[in-house]
Amino acid sequence: AQKITQTQPGMFVQEKEAVTLDCTYDTSDQSYGLFWYKQPSSGEMIFLIYQGSYDEQNATEGRYSLNFQKARKSANLVISASQLGDSAMYFCAMRGHNTDKLIFGTGTRLQVFP
Amino acid sequence: GAGVSQTPSNKVTEKGKYVELRCDPISGHTALYWYRQSLGQGPEFLIYFQGTGAADDSGLPNDRFFAVRPEGSVSTLKIQRTERGDSAVYLCASSLTPGTSGRSGELFFGEGSRLTVL
């Protein structure tokens, strides 16, 4: 069975600072993919970043980077230079090998204050 | 439009009634997913289509839930004899290729249909 755990229900960060959102996962697959999605109050899920289990380098997409520690089964999202518009729910998700569904964690609510 | 479209955006119904929720995926996307999101929770997988067939329906909670995709494009999620516990946001997503462990498996989501069962 596959499982995603996000232990931070809520996080606060000051504008322009960096913040790390935690994600750990559990799988017996050797090949898998890890995703982060943002969900603003409008409700739409917005893809942010992807990391493959065999990728040797941590993924980066603009201000987003993924701190992938395979041995610890963690895939933390780092947002640099936070902006007020970053305030939203953030979900970590995983897709295992030979399966097509994404399994999501319970999410972290990030609030950026001026 | 260019994105995933879901209708209705809001649906209020009474317990015991039948409900249909529609999803129009991004043109050309062969894979289509339904998720359910309860308040304060992450999206919960319901069913996945590859083309017209349901490739994985392991997330459907019981036989009151059914989904179709007859022409491999638009999909309808059908809920019979609705219960108050069915109240949630139902999210639809599509992707260009079947899920793999690659970037091409990225899901594009609609804004959801909020179902309230009174």
d(CA A94, CA A101) in angstroms, rounded, equals 8
Are the beta carbons of A48 and A37 closer than 8 angstroms? yes
Contacts of A101 in chain B (CB under 8 A): 33, 45, 48, 56, 59, 99
Residue B103's pLDDT is what?
A: 57
Tell me the per-residue pLDDT of A18-51, one tens digit each, with 9 for 90 and over.
999 999 999 999 889 999 999 999 888 999 999 9
B39-58 pLDDT, tens digit per residue, is 889 999 999 999 899 989 99
Cβ within 8 Å, pair A107-B111: no
- Listed by number, the residues of chain B in 12-71 with a beta carbon closer than 8 Å to a beta carbon of chain A are 31, 33, 35, 40-45, 48, 50, 55-56, 59
Q: How far apart are CA B52 and CA B71, in angstroms?
A: 6
Q: For residue B102, is pLDDT > 70?
A: no
What's the CA gap between A40 and B80, in Å, rounded?
30
B10-36: pLDDT as tens digits: 999 999 999 999 999 999 888 999 999
In this predicted model, what pLDDT tens digit does every residue of A46-99 receive, in sequence order? 999 999 999 889 999 999 999 999 999 999 999 999 999 999 999 999 998 877
Residue B81, pLDDT score: 97
* Rounded distance between C-alpha atoms, residue A95 and residue B101, angstroms: 7
In terms of phi and psi (left: phi > 0; alpha: psi -120 to 50; beta: otherwise), the region of B95 is beta
Chain A CB contacts of B39 under 8 Å are: none
Q: How far is B58 from chain A (nearest CA, A)?
A: 10
